[in-house]
Amino acid sequence: MTDLGARIAKIWKSARFRIVFWAALTGVLLGVTGAALPLEDVLINGRTWLRLHPSKGEIVMVLQDGKTLEELEALDVTRANDAQVIRNLQKAEVSRVFIDRFLDDHDKEPGRSQFLQALKAFPDRVFLGAMPAKDGPRGNYAAAMPSAGFLENAHAVSLLALDHPFNLSKSLPFSSDSPRGQIPSLAASIAGVSRSSDRVFRPDYAIDYTTIPTISYVDILEGRFDQAAVRGKDVIIAPSAEVYHDLHTLPAQGYAPGAFFHAIAAETLKEGVPIELGWLPAFLVVLGVILSGLGRGRVLDVYRFSGLVAVVIVAPLALDQFRFQVDIVPAIAMAAVAVFRMRNLDRVEVAGETNSGSGLPSIQVLRKYDAVSSRILVALQIRNYGAIIGSFAEHVEAQVANEIVRRIRISDSEVTVYHEGGMFMWLSTIRSTFDLFENLEGLHRIVQNGIQVGGLDIDLSFNCGIDSEFDRPVSSRVASAMQSAEEAVRNDELVYKFDSRKHEAQWEISLLTQLDRAIDNGEVWVAYQPKLDLTSNRVSGAEALVRWTHPERGPISPDKFIRIAEEFHRIERITRFVINDAVRTAVELRRQGFDMTISVNISAQLLRNPGLPDMIAEILAIYGLPAEMLILEITETDRLDRSSRTFQMLQKLVQSGIRLSIDDFGTGNATIDYLRYVPAAEVKIDKVFIQAMEGNKEDLLLVQSIIEMAHSQDRTVVAEGVETQAALEILRAMQCDAIQGYYVSRPVPFRDLLTQIVGREARQIG
């Protein structure tokens, strides 16, 4: 219990959690007390107006209208009139007759006997209205009942309705209590629905009352009506003339006689009993969305809030069509309270997370960033920052900081720079440590030229620390990067890289020696993964992938030993080995009758080696393989323009006849402009998008866009990571050129590759 209490106390200390708690409590109170009903009615009425549709016409209204009273020259109809109308409706073979008013029963009233005879002639087919009495019990109780004489051959139905606050809507009961026990409501009786008197429902007021068939009472009385219009239907006789004062506000439709509420309610129940979901479902959905953001340090921003409100409003509109009624105001109120209070909290936190001197985000923001990031964290320490700021009489820290940031963004333009004292930090968009070192060297040369502030030239000196341990949260990497920057200052190094695996350094250094020996004794070998042409359904090529099986440690991840080889500039030996094996394999395949390309991955570091073209040309010449049969796969680089050494190297390789392929396309900074710059013949879509596209529309559209974009630049498209028949068919429909992945084959030794190709060719011929 002590640990549980401590955890609860820790959670309660979170300002964001407290905001969610009070916002949720607000929603619960609105839902439980029903205080949100008026606003709920406004929203429902708005949806009702959008859904207005005609009645099905299965119920006919016989209206005691102004025309009736004018022709009868009376202020009301008599029981004798009612008797004649019932007889005429009976002759027209109506199903049932419902009288939507309470009929006073006076023994001496003229026409009473005629009315009783009409009821007797049409037994159990006439239903008389029961109402609450002024001096009777309140609530759902119909104290004013038709007389016992009337009910010998007729039935009583309740005409009660529950008015909502401000007369914004009405709910109707399924049945009402009465001196004779429970009696059904008029609507429930027509629909044949039976429910207890403690339940009410909201009719579907989207049924346009003006489309419900109507006939004047006097026309029925005089026999001036089309009997076919009422034959087999239920008829409601109801007052509608102004003298009856029975006009009420019909939601979304203006004023209408009260009988139309019952007619609409009856048609609603005939379609199916509305299912009242209440306020809890929408509340829980919104609470779930809010809590999903809480773990990321926020509740709902304005845009997500607006989108959520839109969904919460639109979803009930769709549910209304299927008679599901859901209340949304408690959910919206909860979200609104959460957003309003969170925005205030954000403003307070922003003020606390902004460096007051420079106006830049404070490094404190990074210390609270508990998520992981695949970007390298850079800490740049200005050695003489305090002396620079102190040398000015006026406050110039913002100008100095902005000049530093401007220079950082010359080659790392998309980064956010955080500031604290003389320390500047950012998560670099440059993915390679080697490239980042070069970038910081260039930045150092730029800063050495000095900056100008307030008309004075200022000399700057800095050292950098970097942290590239992506498996740790950014918050825990801040201190590491800053510590590395201080280490760089102490050792007078431009850049110092933090590495928590210092205990492995000796093994990694020895790994390089072992790698050279492993290549010589056959521990390092090349696996081949075939590429399937989707047009011909034949293997059109294969990718060469280096593998190392250590005698003691077993298989060593290529990511590990290639990373070490790159860091210590030993990648050329591995690349030469792989290209040599790949070219020999391509020649052997041609000898076997299979003319196909072989792809080899080339490190970005090696693209800066001027000896690369000659090395490849030498290997091709030894085996006699045409240059166009070799494809070099390059990973997207962060910076590439026509003046760069990398671009010039790519041009030279293409001019020699070698084909280039852009590997892992979509995960870096590739754009249509990137495709335009790189002289590549092939584009390989990264497996991340291929494996997600079957269940994610956004990834599907992205893959389609990449294929179309590449084809518009006359590039061949290869999809990596294809693992299912469904993915293959999707890609074929998108006109992708080739695929690669476990569905075709895993990377295998050359002999297994040859066996697979021969077997597939045999099946093709068969």
Q: What is the pLDDT of residue 7?
A: 57
Q: Which of 11-20, 112-121, 253-262, 660-669 has the lowest mean pLDDT?
A: 11-20
CATH superfamily of this structure's domain 363-499: Reverse transcriptase/Diguanylate cyclase domain (3.30.70.270)
Predicted confidence (pLDDT) per residue in 566-587, tens digit:
777 778 889 999 999 999 999 9
Average pLDDT over residues 18-35: 88
| d(C-alpha 389, C-alpha 603), whole Å | 43
pLDDT confidence of residue 9: 58
Which helix H or strand E contains 33, and what residues bound it?
A: helix 15-33
- Highest mean pLDDT: which range of 7-16, 80-89, 270-279, 399-408: 80-89
741 alpha-carbon distance from chain centroid: 29
pLDDT digits (tens, 9 = 90+) for 79-88: 999 999 999 9
- The pLDDT of residue 457 is 76
Predicted pLDDT of residue 641: 52
Work out the average pLDDT over 98-127.
89
Hey, which of 235-244, 694-703, 747-756 has the most confident mean pLDDT? Answer: 235-244
- Mean per-residue pLDDT, 219-228: 95
- Count of all residues that appear for the chain in the document: 766
Q: Which residues of 384-399 are buried (b: 16+ CB within 10 A; e: fewer)?
A: ebeebbeeeeeebbbb
The DSSP symbol for 596 reads -
* Residue 750 φ/ψ, nearest 5 degrees: -55, -45
CA distance 265 to 259: 10
- Bridge partner residues of 377 (DSSP): 427, 467
DSSP state of 748: B
**pLDDT for 503:** 41
Q: Cite the DSSP H helix spans in 353-396.
A: 363-367, 385-390
What per-residue confidence (pLDDT) applies to 6?
A: 53
21 or 215, which is more confident? 215
Q: How big, in percent rounded to 5, are the helix, strand and coil portions of the chain?
A: 45, 20, 35
Helical spans, DSSP H, in 73-183: 79-91, 112-121
d(Cα 525, Cα 480) in Å, to the nearest integer? 37
Instruction: Give the alpha-carbon dihedral of 195, 199, 202, 204, to 10 degrees.
Output: -10
Candidates 215, 186, 174; CA nearest to 63 is 215
Specify whether the CB–CB gap between 549 and 555 falls below 8 A. yes
For the 529-545+569-765 domain, the top CATH level (class) is alpha beta
CA angle in degrees (0–180, nearest 5) for 415-417-418: 145
Q: How far apart are CA 381 and CA 493, in angstroms?
A: 12
Confidence at residue 5, expressed as pLDDT on a 0 to 100 scale: 56
Is the pLDDT score of 470 beyond 90? no
739 CB contacts (<8 Å, ≥6 apart)?
531, 532, 534, 718, 719, 722, 727, 728, 731
pLDDT at 347: 67
Q: What is the mean pLDDT of residues 591-608?
A: 90
Single-letter amino acid, residue 10: K
The pair of structure tokens assigned to 254 is 């203006």
In this predicted structure, the answer to whether residue 365 has a pLDDT above a threshold of 50 is yes
Tokens of 672: 């249509």
Phi, psi of 138 (to 5 degrees): -85, 170
What is the crossing angle of helices 329-352 and 280-294, to 10°? 20
The whole-angstrom separation of Cα 139 and Cα 715 is 77
- Cβ neighbours of 613 (radius 10 Å): 15
Which two tokens mark 729?
A: 């068919």
Q: How far is CA 333 from CA 25, 330, 546, in A?
A: 10, 5, 59
Average pLDDT on 306-316 reads: 74
Residue 619 pLDDT greater than 90, yes or no: yes
pLDDT of residue 638: 45
Q: What is the rounded average pLDDT of the residues 467-494? A: 84
Provide the pLDDT confidence category of residue 491 given band limits of 50, 70 and 90.
low
Give the residue from 673, 681, 739 showing the smallest Cα distance to 539. 739
Average pLDDT score over residue span 535-550: 90
Per-residue pLDDT, 404 = 86
Mean pLDDT of 274-299: 77
> Over the chain, what is the mean pLDDT?
85
pLDDT, position 642: 54
Write down the pLDDT at residue 498: 78
pLDDT greater than 90 at residue 160 = yes
Helix (H, G, I), strand (E, B) or coil at 10: helix
Using an 8 Å Cβ cutoff, are 432 and 569 in contact?
A: no
Mean pLDDT of 172-178: 94
Tell me the pLDDT tens digit for each residue of 386-409.
Answer: 777 877 766 788 888 888 888 888
User: How far, in Å, CA of 116 to CA of 149, rounded?
Assistant: 8
Q: What is the mean pLDDT of residues 158-173?
A: 93
The position carrying tokens 């609409």 is 264
Per-residue pLDDT band at 1 (split at 50, 70, 90): very low
Type and span of the H or E element at 175: strand 175-176
